[in-house]
Amino acid sequence: MVAFGMSRRMVWGTLRSGMRIAAVLAPAVLGACATPSSNTPAPAKEVSADSLVKAGDDARSRGDLASAALLYERAEQMNPKDLGTSLRLGGVWAQVGQPGQALEAYRRALAIDPGNAEAVRGVANTQLQMGDAAAAIATLRNAPGLRSDWRLQNSLGVAYDLSGDFQDAQAAYRQGLALAPGNLQLVSNLGLSLALAGNFDEALPMLEKAAQDPAATPRIRQNLALAYGLAGDDAKAAEIAKIDLDPAKVQANLGYYEYLRLLHDRKALAAAVGAHQAESPQ
């Protein structure tokens, strides 16, 4: 299993550091500067919500998520009706592993536009991060755009998988594929759901085809390795896993697959591998 993320203490340490940086950064970007022909400072430029969002976007593009969160928060305070700012803030909080704060931001976005698919998906995905699959299912099933957005169907499938309802999960993925034929994320999640349900005859060929696609990501290949591990074919699982992982991680994953095979409770099994199915951070 590939480990990722930071401890809560590390996250908040990073955020505190970023806040200090942002406090210096924003005036430097947005404040006054001296003219070359006079010792009199030029009038300070007005700090607008738009300029703060732009500075936040720049910080986010550099990977400085702490500063981005601070700048987006200030912009949201100045213009609380701006949908894009709330969505950006939700995405940053989700990226730094703070789903509670992300959930609040996405809910503020929904209050602005109750039918916004990105906001609905953000709420559902953060509910999944918090381990509440039932709440995510309720959020998605009530979404106005569910029948026309493959991303919402994908999140619904993940939520059903994590609740142990593989049949409804697979129906959601197939509905998503009807909207986005051949979408690799949907195909991979459908294949893994079939594997979790023990249907390896259908799952493995589907995952093989997805993994061989030139656009396949490491996650898609690792879903295939996981499916072989669940099927008990450790040799094939190792062959696939070593494409992206070093030998130590491959061996660690083989031990993990053996542990998963001992989980006879399918819901517990789905919960254990849930991170492999979830979407990438927004």
Domain ranges of the chain: 15-26+47-148, 166-282
CATH class of 166-282: mainly alpha
Contact 205, 187 (CB under 8 A): no
pTM of the model: 0.78
Query: What local confidence, expressed as pLDDT, does residue 45 receive?
Result: 62
Tens of pLDDT, residues 128-142: 989 899 999 999 999
Q: Please report, for residues 63, 88, 268, 269, the alpha-carbon distance to residue 263 in angstroms, rounded to integers and kept in the order given.
A: 38, 38, 7, 6
Q: Please report, for residues 31, 115, 120, 130, 207, the alpha-carbon distance to residue 135 in angstroms, rounded to integers and kept in the order given.
A: 44, 18, 12, 10, 29
Tens of pLDDT, residues 176-229: 999 999 999 999 999 999 999 999 999 999 999 999 999 999 999 999 999 999
Query: What local confidence, expressed as pLDDT, does residue 269 receive?
Result: 79
Which DSSP category does 41 fall into?
Answer: B
CA distance 111 to 102: 14
Q: Which regions of the chain are under pLDDT 50?
A: 1-38, 43, 275, 280-282
> What's the 3-state SS for 192-215?
HHHHHCCCHHHHHHHHHHHHHCCC
Query: What local confidence, expressed as pLDDT, does residue 237 receive?
Result: 96
Return the residue matching tokens 């969505």: 87
Domain spanning 15-26+47-148 has what CATH number? 1.25.40.10
Do the domains 15-26+47-148 and 166-282 sit in the same CATH topology, yes or no?
Answer: yes
